[in-house]
Amino acid sequence: MALIKPELTKDIEKYGTFDFKACYNCGNCTAVCNLTNKNSNFPRMFVRYSMLGLKEEILTSKEPWECYYCGDCSEKCPREADPGEMMMSLRRWLTAQYDWTGLSGLFYKYLPAFLTAMLMVLAGVLIFANAVKWEVEKMLQFGHFFEMIAIAAVFVIIFIPNLMRMWYFMVVKTHSNVPLKNYFTALNELFIHMFTQKRAKDCTDNHFRWLEHFILVIAYLSLLFTTVFLNWFHTQNLFIIVLGYIESAFIFVITVDFVKDRMQKKKALAKKSKPSDWFFVIWLLLMGFTALGVRLFIDLNILESNKWMYIFHLTVLAQWALIIVPFGKWTHFLYRSFAMYFIKLREPEIKSIK
């Protein structure tokens, strides 16, 4: 039963700057969207669901993840209601719904809570550094260890249960009868979307943004691999050292461009940056920047006398791994691709309905 919940509308409003009240259901947004089709009716239908507060409908929907925010709809909206931002807000809201801890929602809606968490991580890093008497070697060792533990823990404790919840909402609740075989045959869909975001290429005038994003994802994942598994900060292998430099440089350059976009506010998707957007892109920038700095200081042999550089890096890393990755925008990386995966699972059923 689709029950109207006006209070849900108020809740969704806290995840973005969309002006629900401006929309008069003309449908221009859907008409201009390159990605909408007869099986995926958005943004208008989702503006409508949000206005009425139809929780079940939104929760079980794939459409918010099918939007890559080119901003065409927002530019063409005669009421300046900004449906693109609406879809973005729904993704934030969905992220909060999938998250069993409830922290995503808390951080999205209440900036002080987020800042407090960030400061607590900073305090934790300082306490740890003090405990090891600010010895660089120990800190480096621990940092490497921490990275592996953090990745594993976030996956096991946060992401796997959250993805299970997402699966429950999108597949179980929609009463989709998916044969077990499909879970394997659809896997390639998952990885293609995870690493390439290929659907985003269909967005209007989006090829350069897509390319930047693609390089950034590859560089980020490679750097993660290089630091964690190839142990970049300890290796003597020249190839690995150079590879790490290149990867972190790519991350730095592209994130600088993204920050510049958000500051210039020319592109639709960069016009209305929420704190979660700023922290994501700046911390990614800092990740590239500090990793590069640490390795540079090691190569110049000045890290011992400039311990702050590593503490800086460790702080950014810890905040990134413990807060921004599990509870922030980073999760789009997983949810988008898993949404495509779940859609692929449900594909025969979706086709038969239409």
Partner 1 sequence: MKKKIGVYVCHCGGNISDYVDIEKVKEAVKEEADVYLVKNTLFACSDSSQKEIEHDIQESELDAIVVASCSPKLHVPTFRGVAQRAGLNPYNYVQANIREQSSWAHSDNPVGATEKAIQLVKAAIAKARESEALTPVKIPAVNVAAVIGGGIGGLRSAISLAEMGTEVYLIEKESKIGGHIAQWDKLFTSNDKGSDIINSLYSQILKHTNIKIFTNAEVIEKTGSIGNFNIKVKIDKEILPLHVGAVIVNTGFESYQPLQSEYGYNVLENVITLPDFKNLIEKSDKELIHNGKIIKKVAYIYCVGSRQDDEGENKYCSRYCCTAAIHVAIEAKQKYRNIINFHYNRGIRTYGKQELLYEESCKNGDIYIQFNLENKPQIEVVKGKTLIKVKDILTAGKEITAEVDLIVLVTGMISRKDDTLINTLKIPVGRDNFYNEIHMKLRPVETVIDGVFIAGTCQSPKNILETLNSSQAAAAKANSVLTKGEMTLEPTLAQINPASCILCENCRNACPFDAIMTVNYEDRQVAKVNVSNCKGCGMCTPVCPTDAIDLAGFTNPQIEGMIDALVN
Residues lying near partner 1 in the complex (CB under 8 A): 1-4, 6, 9, 20-22, 24-25, 41, 45, 48-49, 51-52, 54, 57
Q: Which long-range contacts (CB under 8 A, 24 or more apart) does 34-41 make?
A: 34/70, 34/72, 34/202, 34/203, 34/204, 35/66, 35/67, 35/68, 35/199, 35/202, 35/203, 36/66, 38/354, 39/350, 39/351, 39/354, 40/66
For partner 1, the closer CB: 4 or 156: 4
* Residues 109, 95 contacting (CB under 8 angstroms): no
Query: In the complex, what is the shortest distance from the CB of residue 3 to partner 1, in angstroms, rounded to a whole number?
Result: 5
For partner 1, the closer CB: 31 or 156: 31
* Chain centre distance of CA 321: 12
For partner 1, the closer CB: 54 or 117: 54
User: In the 8-state DSSP scheme, what is residue 270?
Assistant: G
Query: In the complex, what is the shortest distance from the CB of residue 24 to partner 1, in angstroms, rounded to a whole number?
Result: 7
For partner 1, the closer CB: 44 or 272: 44
CA distance 216 to 257: 11
For partner 1, the closer CB: 6 or 179: 6
Query: For residue 160, what are the contacts with CB-CB under 8 A and spacing of at least 6?
Result: none
Q: Which residues lie across from 328 on neighbouring strands?
A: none
Query: In the complex, what is the shortest distance from the CB of residue 61 to partner 1, in angstroms, rounded to a whole number?
Result: 13
Query: For residue 311, what are the contacts with CB-CB under 8 A and spacing of at least 6?
Result: 125, 126, 129, 139
What tokens appear for 11 in the block? 């809740």
* Residues 72, 33 contacting (CB under 8 angstroms): yes
For partner 1, the closer CB: 30 or 226: 30
For partner 1, the closer CB: 66 or 277: 66
User: In the 8-state DSSP scheme, what is residue 203?
Assistant: S
Torsion 120-217-337-351 (CA) sign: positive
For partner 1, the closer CB: 1 or 127: 1
The one-letter code for the residue type at 57 is E
